[in-house]
Structure 1
Amino acid sequence: MPHEIAPTLQFTHQQQPTAIVAGAWLVHALSGRATMHEISALLNKAAQQKDLHWDLSQISSLDHIGAQMLWRAWGKQRPRQLTVQSAHEGLFIRLEQVSRINIPGSAKPRLTRTMQLGAQMLGLLNHLHSFTALLGQLMLDIWRFIRHPLKGPWKELSANIYRTGAQALGITALVGILIGVVLSYLSAQQLRTFGGDLYIVNILGMSIIRELGPMLAAILVAGRSGSAITAQLGVMRVTEELDAMSVMGIPHGFRLIMPKVLALAIAMPLLVIWTDVMALAGGMISAQALLGMSPEFFIYKLPEAVPLLNYWIGLLKGVSFGMLIALIACHYGLRIEPNTESLGRGTTNSVVVAITVVIIADAVFAIIFSKTGY
């Protein structure tokens, strides 16, 4: 490899102020500490002089690093008087094009608070419009399923019931038992003080069967099955499987959305019953340990303490919560864009919104049935 001339920068004032750039302006030639310090000082001196003629015709070699140093000295714009070899012209054209690109986040936000609020309201209306369209399509698919049951997606329905229902029995049983033990322990401490040990059956029965059982099952299913549904649809969006289904004429709603909604509408009441039984069993064990109440007496007093209507209210909550969780999960899954960042954000939003809607729906049920079942 032949010896390369060191990079230099000289100033002349014969006819007009001129900066003569010569030598090899390459990264390995400029990497020396002394050379870099000297060249940087000369470039800073040249940047302070206006209407300076730059003569780059004597440069033997030039790479992107050398061109970038000169470009910064020019204030990131081509000087008015410039002499450059045609072989090096492409580097400066590329730097000029890159400098015109607007970097995201570099500009100051120009939206006022009112505009930001308006954008959020438009986003909310967009979500409501998409959710309403999804709900309408679900009604049409269910009607099609009722008219032609033999052509329905029975395999998808049974598979979703297994994944959202049977596979959730373990976690719901564990949480139910622990909640029953905790609630029974706290109630027993207070009832023992006032001599009302028998009323622990009323407290556990009403709170678990009517409120805690459906709520706990719904929150667990929203975090477990709701996130799985959103992630599944999101991955299908990223891998373009949904587009392939559309090309083949397979409707999304009939094969993907409806089986998931019906599966959760069927599985959730069963999970509510399972959670109620486990929570009452945990409370019964704790009541026997703390108050000496036998399991036989607990089971005997339970139907008397809790009217049967509360049981049906809990099952109605289970059906409603299951359908809401499935619809919200499918809604966010279909809105995911084909990138991994949107997939994570959509899954998180799906779980948060589903749990929030479940709590709101439970409050609505409490208001509607405030004078029922007591």
Structure 2
Amino acid sequence: MSEQQAPALNFTGERPSRLAAVGQWQVHALAADNAIAALNRQLRNAAKDADMQWDLSGIDALDHFGAQILWNAWGRRRPRHLVLAPQHEDTFVRIEQAGMLTLPVRSRPHWFSPATLLRVQRDIAGHLLSFVMLIGQLVLDFGRFARWPLRGPWKEISSNIYHIGYQALGITALVGFLIGVVLSFLSAQQLHTFGGDIYLVNILGMSVIRELGPLLAAILVAGRSGSAITAQLGVMRVTEELDAMLVMGMSHGFRLIMPKVLALSISMPLLVVWTDAVALAGGMVAAKVELGLSVSYFLQALPDAVPLANYWIGIGKGIVFGALIALVACHFGLRIKPNTESLGQGTTLSVVTSITVVILADAVFAILFKGVGFY
């Protein structure tokens, strides 16, 4: 690039001061030899003089990039004394008009505003309606399965029992054992203070078999298997597999929803029994270490300390919790839109809702059976 083509500024210090821009003020010329930094310093110094005479008539070529550099140096407004070549006038007019455009600011309504409350009300109503329709379809599918059991989705049920139940044995055993150890250790310290060591079996047995075992297993399954069910149905929505099933005449409820509900209703009671046993084993270990209670005494005192009704209440909780987790997970999985953002949001919302529903159902059990299972 020759010297005549390079962008430059010619400054005359006589009063009134005059600054003339010459050369090619285009992006390729301004990017060469780090010319932008030197020109910006000169332009900023010149812009401090309000009476500066700006002469841009000597510019050979000007693009939007070069005009923007001058515009920024002027403080985004034209100087009082400016001489422009006629062919460059349109460039500065477009820059000036673009600076005058302002995007409308959309104010975010408060959560208590009528519009927000109406939208939340509609969302809740939509979820309730979809959930009721899902339950109704599930009842019809159960009726169809009872009439023609040989045509039922036995492979899907077996596969879900394996993935939901068998593969969850490890995590439920680990967490159950730790909970039993912690609960037994803390209870033993308090009971030993008042000389009530023998009542550790009562506290540990009642809390684990009636409450902690079913609730702990349900929360773990909701986070592990509930999210997997929602993600599976969501991916099928994104990849249009659900639409393909409808085209082939295959029912979503009979092939996808019902097997998962059945599998969770079968697996959850078994997981509750497994979690109870491992948690009590952890409690026995802690009781042996902390209070010196033998394992044989613990096993002999447990049937008398915990009535059998509590065991059946825990089993019943497992069945109900499993069905609720499956229904909530399938509900949110079917409502996922065919995009990845909705998939992530739906999976998160499914887990949170499942755990909340399980805790609410546990509270209902506590109210309904408040007089059952006690001597």
Judged with a 3 Å threshold, the aligned counterparts in structure 2 of structure 1 residues 293 and 109 are, in CA distance, closer, same or farther, namely closer
Write the letter of the residue equivalent to 2:258: M
The answer on whether the counterparts of 2:68 and 2:95 sit within 8 Å (CA) in structure 1 is no
Q: Which consecutive residues of structure 2, in runs of 5 or more, have no partner in the other structure?
A: 10-19, 51-55, 78-84
- Kindly tell me the number of residue pairs found equivalent between the two proteins: 354
Alpha-carbon spacing, 1:134–1:285, altered in 2? closer, same or farther (3 Å)? same
Which residue in 1 is equivalent to 2:160?
A: 160
What's 2:125 paired with?
125
Amino acid at match of 1:369: F
Pairing of 1:140-219 with structure 2 (within 5 A): 140-219=140-219
Aligned letter for 1:180?
G
Contact 1:213 1:272 in 2 (8 A): yes
TM-score, normalized by length of structure 1?
Answer: 0.79
How big is each residue's C-alpha offset from its partner over 1:115-161, in whole Å with a ceiling of 9 and x where there is no partner? Answer: 32222222222221222222222222222222221121111111111
| Counterpart-to-counterpart distance in 2, 1:148 and 1:67 | 79
TM-score (norm 2): 0.79
**Cα distance change on mapping 1:38 and 1:138 into 2, 3 Å:** farther
CA contact (8 A) 1:137 1:253 kept: yes
Partner of 2:80: none
Letter aligned with residue 302 of structure 2: L
Given residue 202 of structure 1, which amino acid in structure 2 is its aligned partner?
A: N
Specify the SS of the correspondent of 2:113. helix
| Partner of residue 16, structure 1 | none
Taking structure 1 as reference, are residues 248 and 295 closer, same or farther at Cα in structure 2, changes over 3 Å only? same
Q: Sequence identity of aligned pairs in percent?
A: 60
Task: Answer yes or no: is 1:241 the counterpart of 2:241.
Answer: yes
What's the counterpart of residue 225 of structure 1?
A: 225
Deviation at 1:253, TM superposition (A): 1.7
Match of 1:316 in 2: 316
Contact 1:21 1:59 in 2 (8 A): no
Question: How far off is 1:270 after superposition?
Answer: 0.3
CA distance in 1, matches of 2:251, 2:127: 21
When the two chains are superposed, the root-mean-square deviation of aligned CA atoms in Å is 3.9
Letter of the 2:112 counterpart:
R
1:227-282 deviations in whole A, cap 9, x for unaligned?
Answer: 11112222222222222222332222221111111111110000000001111111
Q: Which runs of 5+ in 1 are unaligned?
A: 10-19, 47-54, 77-81
Where do 1:294-309 residues align within 5 Å? 294-309=294-309
Deviations 1:189-228 (Å, cap 9, x if unpaired)?
Answer: 2222333222222111111111010011001111111111
Change (3 A) 1:40 1:194: closer
Task: Name the stretch that deviates more: 287-296 or 225-234.
Answer: 287-296
What's the counterpart of residue 114 of structure 1?
A: 113
Report the equivalent of 2:53.
none
Deviations 1:321-352 (A, max 9, x none): 11111111112222222332222222222111
